[in-house]
Copies of this chain bind each other. A is one copy, B any other.
Amino acid sequence: MGTLILKGNIIHTPQKDKFECHENAYLISKDNSIVGIFDSLPEEYKNEYVYDYGNKLIIPGLSDLHVHASQYVYCGLGIDLQLMDWLGTYAFPTECKYSDLDYAKVYYEAFAESLAKNGTTRAVVFATKHVEGTELLMDILEKHKIAAYVGKVNMDMFCPDYICEDTKQSIADTERWLKDTIGKYKMVQPAITPRFIPTCSSEVLKAMGELAKKYDLHIHTHSTEDIGEIEISLGRYKDFPSDGHVYDSFNLLTDKTVLAHFIFPTKEEMELIRDRGVTIAHCPQSNGNVRAGVPPIRQLMNMGVKVGLGSDIAGGYSVSIFRAMADAEYLSKIRWMETGKEDTYLSVPEAFFLGTKGGGSYFGKVGSFEEGYEMDAVIIDDSNLGTHLDNFSLEQRIERVIHMADDRNVVGRFVMGEKA
């Protein structure tokens, strides 16, 4: 890897409420560790190659903390179906098809390409229950340089027979898959991924907690997404006050856990996940699409809970983390109105922070250009957004990118110190 030098207009959010901008500056890393940002090229680097991006923007890599790779094929569909109809019409029948590796290859390739094109450098990904399909997805993500935690899904109850796993098989398959994939890739790692409480028996949840501990693994699941879902969970676990407490009883809440949604947490549940060091994947587009609810993101942030953004394909229909930033702002304004202006809405830098450093910290020192951070960067050409039309500041240019950019604006990507 060695030294990497990028030149351009550098923008990041070391602090969540303020853009730090460096016009026409140098971003330098050594062996995937940021050295610093410099106004002029330090003498010792005079002979190194410089990627000169001129007037373009250089921002940290974007992190997608919750996405279903298998559902990419039908994103944008079933938007007005009820959740259970949507699962029955699209999610479950589609996931079934990933037993066919030829099918899986086509759609997982399309998924990975789409993430890369949109500037995502890190992702936490649901595959399906299929071991071979999941391993294929991991190969494909590695090839496309998406640094990812990927999960073979566990689901051994409360779902149609054609997709339901046998409990013992689910556990055995998971360990077989872990042995196949731990340490196999540079950028991709397995994550324990029970679908959610309703579709997982206690035996599976217990085994997943044990496997996570045994192999020191990341954990990815849904929590507290929907009133109906919570009722089902707590109908089964009558002595527990919340989804979070159920997961905790199976040792599934650690500082390597990401929980998607978290829309209706109790106060005790919020404190519990904060104390466990859990990260929340906030998926604003999906929360509205599936009519789940409006999560208390400001309260979580104020309590010191770690929060990042998720596209939640295909509950969400856009893989773009810029779009997730904009949607997070929008939904936070709804929350602001709903709470009588108590939960203040997200500022633009805060939304950007959630999609970069906020989500990135789930992966370690990722999502910022501070010293010692990994070298994940995205190059943005915003010239088609009309910035030639007026003299916008860098703060204004990144604000327009967040709200108006698409994959055409993403013209370069660096992941873990490698050019992608």
Contact = CB atoms under 8 A, between A and B. Distances in A.
Given A288-B333, A403-B79, A389 B107 contact: yes
Interface stretch (A27-35, A63-71, A120-128, A289-297): A289-297
A338 B336 contact: no
A73 B386 contact: yes
A110 B80 contact: no
A57 to B, nearest CB: 14
A289 B80 contact: no
Contact of A291 (B289, B326, B333): B333
A399 B79 contact: yes
Contacts of A326: 79
A29 to B, nearest CB: 30
B404 A73 contact: no
Contacts of A53: none
Contacts of A84: none
Given A76-B402, A107-B389, A338-B338, 6 more contacts: A76-B404, A80-B347, A110-B386, A289-B330, A291-B337, A294-B337
22 contacts: A73-B389, A73-B390, A75-B403, A76-B400, A76-B404, A77-B396, A79-B329, A79-B399, A79-B403, A80-B329, A80-B348, A106-B389, A110-B386, A285-B330, A288-B334, A289-B329, A291-B336, A291-B345, A293-B337, A318-B403, A334-B334, A406-B406
List the 8 shortest-distance A-B pairs measured between CB atoms, nearest first: A76-B403, A76-B400, A317-B403, A288-B330, A291-B333, A76-B404, A80-B347, A80-B348
Interface of A: 73-77, 79-80, 106-107, 110, 285, 288-289, 291, 293-294, 317-318, 326, 329-330, 333-334, 336-338, 345-348, 385-386, 389-390, 392, 396, 399-400, 402-404, 406
